[in-house]
Amino acid sequence: MKQYIFYLTLLLVTSIIHASEPKKSLYLRCTTSREFITTLEFLRNQDQLQIHEQQAQQIATKVTDGCTGAAQRFISVAMAMIQSGFTSPDAVKLGVEFSAKSDVETNTFLTIFKKAFLAEYLDLDIRSALKMARALSMEFTGNASEVFDDFDKLLEFCAGAKSLDLPRPECGTFAVRLARQGETWSGGIAKPFIEAFEFLRSESGPELITSDALKLAESLLAAGPDGPINFIQAYKYAASRKGLKMDRKSAIAFARQMAMPKTLNVN
């Protein structure tokens, strides 16, 4: 008993000592000087930007707030915008914005902007391309790498000759709308959406026409990654002779009910 009290007392004293110790400050590792110098030298060497020395130093100082890698993010975005036809002030402003973002967000923005703007992809006007790229990068709160994968897969699915074969500009809007639905859950939405669509069109499914299959497959995403999976399993069971023996309309209604989001009540 005495030994137990001793250890308990020692533990209490140790806790008090640690609690009274001054807390160490946590510092973010940051190559501030390198980011400032790299940005400033870049601005000095870009005659087309027409930025005077004082303004260039102010911009370089803002970029350092993004810490390590900020200069490269700034340069990549600013140059891409200039080459696409943006004015110098707009290109610099957007570059500064992305200097404070992550490398993944920046790469996602640049890749989607390229696909939206270039003639061999969507061939959108510059403002529409910018809006689309922002929607899936700096305005997207989910996983930036996953949303790009979703966008890319959905774009190819929509425009592919063996799938929907729709005009690419129309497919861009379609891909953005669906990709943004993955904002609140992880794992990506392209794969479950395409699987649901193909099942809805198939002989083993309800054999819906394309427009109805697209609408229903998209609505199933409201339940997250389990929505399409639950619908397919429920429909197969409802329509089977060993299951509920339902007709197509009833089986769809039952499967939709099984696939809808469930709310967990916590008392």
**What pLDDT sits at residue 47?**
87
- Indicate if 85 and 121 belong to the same structural domain: no
Please state the separation of Cα 94 from the chain's center in Å: 19
Structural domain harbouring 92: 31-100
Q: Mean pLDDT over residues 229-257, rounded? A: 96
23-42 confidence digits (pLDDT tens): 444 556 799 999 999 999 99
Q: Are residues 128 and 86 in the same domain?
A: no
pLDDT at 124 over 80: yes
Domain boundary among 79, 100, 121: 100
19 in a structural domain: no
Q: Which range, of 6-10, 37-41, 101-105, 136-140, averages the lowest pLDDT?
A: 6-10
Would you say residue 97 has pLDDT above 80?
Answer: yes
Identify whether residues 240 and 250 lie together within a single domain. yes
Tell me what pLDDT residue 37 has.
Answer: 97
Residues 134 and 203 in one domain: no
pLDDT in tens, 217-240: 999 988 887 899 999 999 999 999
* 58, part of any domain: yes
**7, part of any domain:** no
| Residue 210 vs residue 47, higher pLDDT | 210
pLDDT tens digits for 192-203? Answer: 999 999 999 999
Angle between helices 103-117 and 126-135 (to 10 degrees): 150
- Radius of gyration of the CA atoms of the chain, in A: 27
Return the closest-CA partner of residue 75 out of 47, 46, 52.
Answer: 46
- Regarding whether 66 and 107 lie in a shared domain, the answer is no
- Average pLDDT, integer, range 134-162: 90
Residue where one domain finishes, among candidates 154, 171, 187? 187
Do residues 158 and 202 share a domain? no
Other Cβ atoms closer than 10 A to 40: 18
Total count of residues recorded for the chain: 267
DSSP letter for each residue of 33-102: HHHHHHHHHHHHT-GGG---HHHHHHHHHHHGGG-TTHHHHHHHHHHHHHHHT--HHHHHHHHHHHHTS-
Q: Answer with the one of 163, 187, 211 that is the final residue of a domain.
A: 187
pLDDT at 12: 40
* Burial annotation 57-92 (CB, 10 A radius, 16+ → b, else e): bebbebbbebeebbbbbbbbbbbbbbeeebeeeebb
Residue 11 has pLDDT above 50, yes or no: no
Enter the tokens of residue 217: 């497959």
Structure confidence at residue 263 (pLDDT): 52
Q: What's the rounded mean pLDDT across residues 89-116?
A: 95
Say whether both 160 and 86 belong to one domain: no
In-domain check, residue 193: yes
For residue 222, the model assigns a pLDDT of: 85
Same domain, 63 and 134: no
* Same domain as 180, residue 129: yes
In a domain, 4, yes or no: no
In a domain, 6, yes or no: no
Count of the separate structural domains present in the chain: 3
Evaluate whether residue 235 is within a structural domain. yes
Q: How confident is the model at residue 22 (pLDDT cuts 50, 70, 90)?
A: very low
Asked if residue 70 is part of any domain, the answer here is yes
Identify which of 67, 142, 75 has the alpha carbon closest to the alpha carbon of residue 106.
75
**What is the per-residue pLDDT for 27?**
57
Note whether 237 and 216 are same-domain residues.
yes
pLDDT at 43: 96
Q: To 5 degrees, how large is the angle CA 39–CA 74–CA 174? A: 170
| Residue 251, pLDDT above cutoff 80 | yes
Residue indicated by tokens 């890749």 = 111
The mean pLDDT of 44-50, rounded to a whole number, is: 89
* Higher-scoring residue by pLDDT: 154, 50: 154
47 and 80 inside one domain = yes
pLDDT of 181 strictly over 50: yes
Residues 52 and 108 in one domain: no
SS3 content of the chain, % helix, strand, coil (to 5): 70, 0, 30
What is the pLDDT, as a whole number, of residue 8?
Answer: 37
Measured distance CA(69)–CA(98) in Å, rounded: 11
